[in-house]
A and B are shown apart, each in its own frame.
Chain A
Amino acid sequence: MQAIEVSHLVKKFGTLTAINDISFSVGVGETFGFLGPNGAGKTTTIRILTGISPPTAGTATIFGHDIVRETVAARQSMGIVSETSNVYTDLTGWQNMMFSAQLYRVGRSERDKNATELLKRFELYERRRDKVHGFSKGMRRRLTIAMGLVNSPRLLFLDEPTSGLDVQSNIIIRDVISDLVQAGVTVFLTTHNIEEANVICDRVAIIDKGHIAAIDAPERLKKTIQSVQSIEVSFDSSSSTQLDELRKIPMVNGARKEGDKYRLYTEDPSEVIEGVTAYAHAHNTRVISITTLGPSLEDVFVKLTGLQRSGGGVTAID
């Protein structure tokens, strides 16, 4: 039995087709990333999988329970962490945990034990009696995730868990996700942070315009676009025209500035390295570092979704 089984799922809003015949499955204990640009259908898919919104066609099961016909049973094994930190700011941290546990009908002793452990794990225990409106953004996010775990779920939906957070919260949350994976919890993750998905996920699906554009392990996806290799180079001096000049080196398909470095995309790295060396000689500058890079998951994402890179990164990823 799979943790999630999605078959020919379709969701229409009037004439708009938000999800168009998608199928995939997520194994028990797997960490599955769900990536896509704005409006690709990620949130709609999550709303269907969590039983908030019914599909127009197709089926979705959670541990064998049909999400439409056996909604309550399917949800009982889930923890849901939505993109917004949807905590009750007029309640204390402890009251929020208790409320979430009661909704999932966690027994009183287990409720207290789980809440205590989770609040300690997320470094919120000392503030448990404080109303949440005094919490920072990172603390609210941590509390949201703690509330999603209070019923000890077998499957956790994590929607943008670390987006825009401070370093401390990021580290705590990533450690907790890592521990959950070790404990065999299935994680369904959507994130802006493609590198995060690359590091955490066993497999990722890239959804675009309501279709699954690709679904595989991150490393296997990267192999599908080996033609997109790149050279990362930095010089001891820079000028405003340097990026344009580097773009003119033979075999360079594209270039962008990344901090004090340049990234040059090519199908022939050795040819470009020679070109870079010649450029340095000609412009009386020195190469401080030069590295050949394979395609990143972000490159796969950009190629499959047809997004345009602007400046130092990918735009409009949601």
Chain B
Amino acid sequence: MGLQDRLSRELVAAWAIAKKDVAIYYLRPGTIMGGVLFPLFMFLAFTAGNLSTPAALIPGLISITTLFSASSIEPVSIPIERRTGTFDRLLSAPISLNALVLGESLSGLLYSVCIASVVFVAALIILRTPIVSIVPIVLGVLLSSFCFATMASLFAAYPTESPGDIISMVNLVRFPLIFISGVFIPLAVLPSFGQMIAYVSPLTYANDLIQGGYHGKTVLNPFIDLAMLIVFILIFQVVANYLYKRFND
């Protein structure tokens, strides 16, 4: 089997897994409503408390939305599929673990992009939030969604049939990320120790890119932001692949 054929097979299988997940988990009314309500409540919480102006809030809100929406379903769906035995169907299919992880992540990516788009469009139409360039926003949302969805796939490798186990672990990472990634406290204001921690967070690079699209300036070179997000995706993919292999034993 040639490399091209192999790659094509893997992508077809990954896409089939993503479509299956979207049909079963993401298109549920509760999931859609939850996805839309989360950024709305975050927005209301910050504006009601006069913590920030709406326009200044939107880039960070989009960053947080991608983090939470991209990593919200796999920690639930994969343990449920383990319990029902359907995950074994994926594990025994003629595809690699990379294709499996990619498929699971793709569905999270699609969901996250849709929810982030709702926030972006609502901000544009309702708040008339100005943007400088849409390109970094699109790239930031796409790559960060992919990155956080892959991160969720990684956590879901833990061999449990209880979604609560995975969600607890994911939240241990997600919530601290908000505070160390320059979303609420700009990177430049962080102490040097805080900045060092910020640079190991993928949310830092995603937020920096998206902020750049809205404000026209980034703390880091945008290409570094893009490169770092790609590096994080690759790291999460490789580690997830390793963990699924190890935990299947």
Contacts and interface: CB of A to CB of B under 8 A. Distances in A.
Contacts, number: 74
A301 to B, nearest CB: 27
Interface of A: 50-54, 71-73, 75-76, 78, 80, 82, 84-91, 95, 99-100, 102-105, 147
B92 A84 contact: no
Contact of B13 (A90, A95, A102): A102
A51 B13 contact: no
Interface stretch (B80-88, B167-175, B195-203): B80-88
B31 interface: no
Interface of B: 1, 6, 9, 12-13, 15-17, 19-20, 23-24, 84-86, 88-96, 248-249
B94 A76 contact: yes
A71 B245 CA distance: 13
Contacts of B249: 53-54
B85 A86 contact: yes
Nearest to B27: A90
Given A99-B16, A105-B9, A52 B24 contact: no
B17 to A, nearest CB: 8
A86 B23 contact: no
B23 A52 contact: no
Contacts of B94: 71-73, 75-76, 78, 103-105
B46 to A, nearest CB: 36
A50 B84 CA distance: 19
A87 B13 CA distance: 17
B13 A86 contact: no
A85 B85 CA distance: 8
Point out which of A86, A91, A104 has the most chain B C-beta atoms below 10 A from its C-beta.
Answer: A86
Nearest to A105: B9
22 contacts: A51-B92, A52-B88, A52-B91, A52-B248, A53-B249, A71-B96, A73-B94, A75-B92, A78-B92, A82-B85, A86-B84, A86-B86, A86-B89, A87-B86, A88-B24, A91-B24, A95-B23, A99-B16, A103-B89, A103-B94, A103-B95, A105-B94
Q: Is the interface of B mostly helix, strand, loop or mixed?
A: helix
Contacts of A88: 20, 24, 86
Contacts of A54: 249
A50 B1 contact: no
Contacts of A86: 84-86, 88-89
Point out which of B13, B15, B20, B89 has the most chain A C-beta atoms below 10 A from its C-beta.
Answer: B89
Point out which of B12, B17, B85, B92 has the most chain A C-beta atoms below 10 A from its C-beta.
Answer: B92
Nearest to A51: B92
Given A72-B6, A75-B94, A147-B89, 12 more contacts: A51-B92, A52-B91, A52-B248, A72-B1, A72-B94, A80-B92, A84-B84, A84-B85, A103-B90, A104-B93, A105-B9, A105-B13
Closest 4 CB pairs of A and B: A86-B85, A102-B16, A75-B94, A84-B85
Given A103-B13, A105-B9, A91 B20 contact: yes
Point out which of B6, B19, B85 has the most chain A C-beta atoms below 10 A from its C-beta.
Answer: B85
Contacts of A75: 92-94
Contacts of A147: 89
A19 to B, nearest CB: 13
Point out which of A51, A82, A90, A99 has the most chain B C-beta atoms below 10 A from its C-beta.
Answer: A99
Contacts of B96: 71-72
Contacts of A76: 94
Contact of A53 (B6, B90, B248): B248
Contacts of A84: 84-85
B95 A72 contact: yes
A87 B81 CA distance: 10
A90 B85 contact: no
Contact of B92 (A52, A95, A99): A52
A90 B92 contact: no
A73 B16 CA distance: 19
A147 B89 CA distance: 10
A95 to B, nearest CB: 7
A82 B24 contact: no
B23 A91 contact: yes
Contacts of A104: 93-94
B69 to A, nearest CB: 20
A91 B27 CA distance: 12
A88 B20 CA distance: 9
Contacts of A52: 88, 91-92, 248
